[in-house]
Amino acid sequence: MKEKTEELRKKLSEMLAAAETDAAVEAIRVSFLGKKGAVAELMAELRNAADKKSAGQIINEFKTEAEQMISDAAERIKRAALDAEIRSAKKYNPDIRMNNVRGSYHPITLVSREVEAIFKSMGFTVEDYYEIVDDYKCFESLNIPKHHPARDMQDTYYLDNGQLLKTHTSAAQNAIIRKYGAPLRAIFPGRCFRNEATDACHENTFFQMEGIMIDENISISNLIYFMKTMLSEVFERDIKVRLRPGFFPFVEPGFELDINCLICGGEGCPSCKGSGWLELCPCGMIHPNVLAEGGIDTEKYTGFAFGLGLTRLAMMKYGVKDIRDFNSGNLKALSQFGSN
């Protein structure tokens, strides 16, 4: 009996080594351990054996061993199939863990968080708003009726369903004023879209940070105070600001807020075209029509609003010369600004 099981063990081992699929292993299992398999045949021979007891033991030992060999082979095939799958997936999805790249925040996120923290410390809430809005939100609620020439300043992406990609964060003003009423202090950063021809200073996708404050007796001096405080903290030095008249239908009076040039400190240099000032933030006193459209009592309340160019601010703060770097997905360019 011993020779017979030795012979079977050798045969089984060879057959399993050659097997490459689950089905092949299963067929081998049946031929050895199945009802009419080799082990069953040995059992049948047992009836005529001289030494039944020891022969039976030998067969049982072989049976246990054969079961183990078969399950090992099945395991080997399963693992090989898995390895092959991983290898072929890697061809298309290179294992990024191998590059040892650490993630970092986008510079716009960093500046946005910094400005948010400053305004939060001055009692403002930070609001979020949609990127797809309707004509009412983006224009009409802001005192820009249909066919108003001010619409030409913002070359807008319209969707087939009549909605549009918001061209400015001002599009959230009406919803936020309606939601909270007066008094109100809120900022709302957001991504904006315009059909711009792109170059180093223009992008079709950029970020703004809108801010509004509505209360009794709010005046332009409140506006100047908040802007100056925020900018001085962002740039970590005392920033001088000046207001020039500017036209926006949703503010009256409206201004362009300039800051003294950070490169020359106001002396005049090529970066500020010799003027000593950089245009940074349009702003103004919220137009009574806009307040009324948001359900505010215009006899009692006034407010200011500003639309800070967040992308522009990030360019100035980090010295980024080409606005297109921000949307480039170029990790080398984007990961230099901080990794926390």
Which pair of structure tokens corresponds to residue 103?
A: 């993630």
Shortest gap between Cβ of 173 and ligand DAH (angstroms)? Answer: 7
Indicate the residue among 110 and 150 with the shorter CB distance to ligand DAH.
150
Shortest gap between Cβ of 149 and ligand DAH (angstroms)? Answer: 14
Shortest gap between Cβ of 308 and ligand DAH (angstroms)? Answer: 8
| Spatial contact of 301 and 214, defined as CB atoms under 8 Å apart | yes
| Spatial contact of 287 and 296, defined as CB atoms under 8 Å apart | no
Number of H helices, E strands in the chain: 11, 9
Strands 241-245 and 205-215 turn out to be unpaired
What is the C-alpha separation between 55 and 77, in angstroms, rounded? Answer: 33
Shortest gap between Cβ of 221 and ligand DAH (angstroms)? Answer: 16
Indicate the residue among 170 and 260 with the shorter CB distance to ligand DAH.
170
Indicate the residue among 62 and 306 with the shorter CB distance to ligand DAH.
306
What is the C-alpha separation between 208 and 258, in angstroms, rounded? Answer: 16
Task: For Cα atoms 156, 194, 113, give the angle at the middle one, nearest 5 degrees.
Answer: 130
Which pair of structure tokens corresponds to residue 139?
A: 């224009």
| Spatial contact of 203 and 196, defined as CB atoms under 8 Å apart | yes
Q: Which residue is nearest to ligand DAH (CB)?
A: 307
Shortest gap between Cβ of 171 and ligand DAH (angstroms)? Answer: 8
Indicate the residue among 107 and 307 with the shorter CB distance to ligand DAH.
307
Strands (E), 197-330: 205-215, 241-245, 251-260, 277-286, 302-309
Indicate the residue among 77 and 283 with the shorter CB distance to ligand DAH.
283
Shortest gap between Cβ of 210 and ligand DAH (angstroms)? Answer: 5
Shortest gap between Cβ of 103 and ligand DAH (angstroms)? Answer: 31
Closest CA to 189 of 289, 94, 110: 110
What's the Rg (C-alpha) of the chain? 37
Catalog residues that contact ligand DAH under the rule CB under 6 A: 168, 170, 210, 248, 251, 254, 282-284, 305-307
Indicate the residue among 107 and 284 with the shorter CB distance to ligand DAH.
284
